[in-house]
Structure 1
Amino acid sequence: MDHLSTGRLARALVLPLLVALLPAGSLAGQDSARTTLPPLLTAPVPGPRLTRADETEVRRKLQSTADAWNRADLAGHVAPYADSAAFMTGRGPMIGRDKIEASLRRGFWREGKPLQTLRYEHVSVRALGRDHALVTGRFILTGGGRDDATGWFTLVWERGPKGWREIHDHSS
C-alpha cells in the first residue's frame, strides 16, 4: 500500500470515529446568549474531593466579595485575594492584590463607591485537589444609570494557613 492510500485509509477510519466521539450539539450552532445555562465544569473528577464545609466556605468567601463591593468596601472585596494573586487582563496578567485593587478602583469606582452593584449567577465549585478549587460563574454589574455589564469568570482558590484564598482570576 503506498503512502497516499494509507493516508486515505486512516482518514476513512479516524474521521467517523472522531465525529462519533464529539458531544451532541458540538457540530450544531450553540446559543451562547442563553440565560439558563447549566453550571460549568460540573463533571465528576477522580481523586480528592472538597468537603461540603470547604465548598460552603469558598462560596461564602466569594459572596463576601459581592457584599463588600455593594457596601462600597473595595478593600473587603479584594480581601480574599492572596497577596500574589494573578488577575488576567487584555494586556496580560496583573500580579498582586494591591495592583488588582487599584485597577478596580480606576475602572469601576467613582467618588469612593462602585458605579454599579455586583452579583453572581451560575456559580460552580469544583475540586482540583484537597487544597485547590476551580470556581466558575457569571458576574452581573447593574444599576447606576448604566447598561448592565455581564461576563464569565474562572477563579482558582487555594487553601493555606489563612484559609481559602483566591490565587487566580480570569474574568471576561
Structure 2
Amino acid sequence: MRFSLCALAIALGCASGPPVRRFEPADRAAITGVLDRQMAAWNRGDLASYMDGYARTPALVFTSGGNIRHGWQDAFDHYQARYATDPKAMGKLAFQIDSIDPVGADGAVVLGHWELTGTEHAGKGVFTLVVERRPEGWRIIHDHTSASP
C-alpha cells in the first residue's frame, strides 16, 4: 500500500500540463518588428510585403475612412486599387508606437500614430491594432486607422 501511494505521488508530481506561455519582452520586440517591416516595405513601394504584417484570413477586420473591410484579400485589393499604379505614389510612411498592451499570452493591442508624406494621399492620424500570435509569428487581425482632420 505504501508503495502504491508513493508511486501515485511520484506520478502526479511528474504529470504536469503544458508550460504556461506568457507575454514576454521578446513578444513586444517581435510586434514592433512586424510594424518596422511593414513601414520599410511601404517605403520601398512593396505592397505585397507590407501586407505580410496582416493575418491571411477572412477574419481580418480593417477599418478606415468610414469603411469596414473583412478579410485579407479585401484589404489587399483596397490598397492595390489605391496605390498599385505607381509604387512611388505610395509616399513615405512612419509609425510611432505609443503602447503595446498584452491581452493574454497570445494577443496584444497596439496603439500609435501614423504619418504618410510625399503622396496625394498624405495625412496623419492614429491607429489601434489587435495582433495575435500565429504559427507564422505575430500578425495583425484587426486594424482601426483614423485620419486626423
Q: Indicate the TM-score class for this superposition, using the shorter chain for normalisation.
A: 0.7 to 0.9
1:52 aligns with 2:33: no
Give the 3-state SS of the residue equivalent to 1:77 in structure 2.
helix
Q: Which has the higher helix share?
A: 2
Q: Alpha-carbon deviations, 1:38-58, whole Å to 9, x = none?
A: xxxxxxxxxx96211000000
Aligned to 2:86: 111
Of 103, 119, 127 in structure 2, the residue corresponding to residue 128 of structure 1 is: 103
Provide the identity percentage: 35
Of 39, 46, 59 in structure 2, the residue corresponding to residue 66 of structure 1 is: 39
Of 68, 79, 94 in structure 1, the residue corresponding to residue 52 of structure 2 is: 79
Give the TM-score of the pair, scaled to structure 1.
0.65
TM-superposed CA distance for 1:109, in Å, is 4.5
Q: Is the 8 A contact 1:157 1:165 kept in 2?
A: yes
Q: Which amino acid aligns with 2:145?
A: S
Aligned to 2:70: 95
RMSD: 2.0
TM-superposed CA distance for 1:155, in Å, is 0.3
Q: Which amino acid aligns with 1:74?
A: L
Of 117, 139, 146 in structure 2, the residue corresponding to residue 165 of structure 1 is: 139
Give the TM-score of the pair, scaled to structure 2.
0.74
TM-superposed CA distance for 1:111, in Å, is 2.0
Aligned to 2:114: 139
